[in-house]
Amino acid sequence: MNTLTIEVRPLRDSLANAAQAMEDLVPTETSISFDSPELLWKVLTAKRWELLKVMVGAGPLALREIARRTGRAVKSVHMDVHALLDAGVIERRAAGFILPYDAVHVDFFLKAG
C-alpha cells in the first residue's frame, strides 16, 4: 500500500532523516512534516480533510468534480485545493488533481511537558 504519513516533527529531525536516507540510498516512506500541531491544523482544516477523503484512491479529479463530491462551492474548493498543493499533499496532473496515495496516516503525540 502506498501511504502518505503526515506528522508533527521538528524540521531539524525531518532534515536529518532525509539526509540519512540519501546517504544510505534507502527509500523511505513518503511523509510530510509540520513543526507543530497548530501548523498542521492550519493547513489540514476540516474542509481540506474532506477533500482528501474524496480524493484518496480516486485518481485524477477535476476541480468541479471534487466540489460535486463534497457538496461545496467550486470557489472554496479551489482555495483549499491550492493550499493542499502548496503544502505538497496533492499534485496537479494534466487530467486533474490527484492524491497519489492509497492511504493517509496522521501521526503525532501529545505529551506532558
Whether residue 113 is contained in a domain is answered as no
Whether residue 49 is contained in a domain is answered as yes
Strands 3-8 and 103-107: parallel
- Domain range spanning residue 32? 3-107
Q: How many domains does the chain have?
A: 1
Mean pLDDT for the stretch of residues 101-106: 90
* pLDDT the model gives residue 14: 54
Whether residue 81 is contained in a domain is answered as yes
Whether residue 21 is contained in a domain is answered as yes
pTM for the predicted model, two decimal places: 0.79
> Who has greater pLDDT, 113 or 19?
113
* pLDDT the model gives residue 37: 87
- State pLDDT tens for residues 6-37: 999 876 665 556 556 556 666 557 788 888 88
Whether residue 57 is contained in a domain is answered as yes
CA distance 83 to 43: 7
Whether residue 43 is contained in a domain is answered as yes
- State pLDDT tens for residues 40-90: 999 999 999 999 999 999 999 999 999 999 999 999 999 999 999 999 999
Whether residue 96 is contained in a domain is answered as yes
Give, in degrees to the nearest 5, the angle at Cα 75 between 73 and 81.
100
* pLDDT the model gives residue 24: 62
* pLDDT the model gives residue 12: 67
Whether residue 72 is contained in a domain is answered as yes
Tell which residue, 83, 81, 85, 89, has the closest CA to residue 105: 89
Q: Which residues 6+ apart lie within 8 Å of 108 measured at CB?
A: 7, 8, 9, 37, 40
CATH number of 59's domain = 1.10.10.10
* pLDDT the model gives residue 21: 57
